[in-house]
């Protein structure tokens, strides 16, 4: 099951109840809006507090609009400094979307298998 937990204030109180029991998540950043980096950081921290150290994938969306991007090298370096791998995607064209879900699924399955190895 997937929930789209945007950064809108009206959903802030409901987010933890949707997150509980989650096995993994995508953190999506809109490359054309620099403010979504702060929102993504807040949502990732909230998810980690709620469900613990679950696998997640950071997605930089709207690669099809690369000429309009508002993210600079500084923001990207800050995300990478956290140890986060970054995937570039386009929800419009589908570029990288399958890879993001594949990477998340693989991480979730690897985490699930660890207790048995």
Question: CATH number for the domain including 65?
Answer: 3.40.50.300
Backbone φ and ψ of 86, nearest 5°: -115, 135
Give this prediction's pTM: 0.83
Q: What is the chain's pLDDT, residue by residue, as a tens digit (117 residues)?
A: 676 666 555 445 546 777 777 888 899 999 999 999 988 898 888 888 888 888 999 999 999 999 999 998 888 999 999 988 899 999 999 999 999 999 999 999 998 876 654
pLDDT of res. 55: 92
Q: Please check whether residue 56 lies inside any domain of the structure.
A: yes
Q: Which residues of 22-41 are buried (b: 16+ CB within 10 A; e: fewer)?
A: bebbbbbbbbeeeebbebbe
Q: Which domain holds residue 45?
A: 22-116
Show the beta-strand stretches assigned E in 16-114.
25-30, 56-61, 86-88
């Amino acid at each position: 099951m997937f929930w789209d937990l945007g950064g809108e204030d009206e959903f802030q109180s409901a987010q933890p109840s949707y997150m509980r029991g989650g096995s993994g998540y995508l953190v999506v950043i809109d490359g054309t809006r620099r403010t979504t980096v702060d929102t993504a950081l807040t949502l990732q921290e909230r998810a980690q507090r709620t469900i613990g150290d679950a696998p997640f994938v950071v997605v930089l969306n709207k690669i099809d609009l690369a000429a309009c991007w508002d993210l600079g090298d500084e923001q990207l370096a800050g995300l990478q400094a956290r140890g986060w791998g970054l995937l570039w995607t386009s929800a419009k064209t589908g570029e990288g979307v399958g890879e993001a879900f594949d990477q998340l699924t693989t991480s979730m399955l690897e985490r699930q298998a660890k207790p048995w190895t």
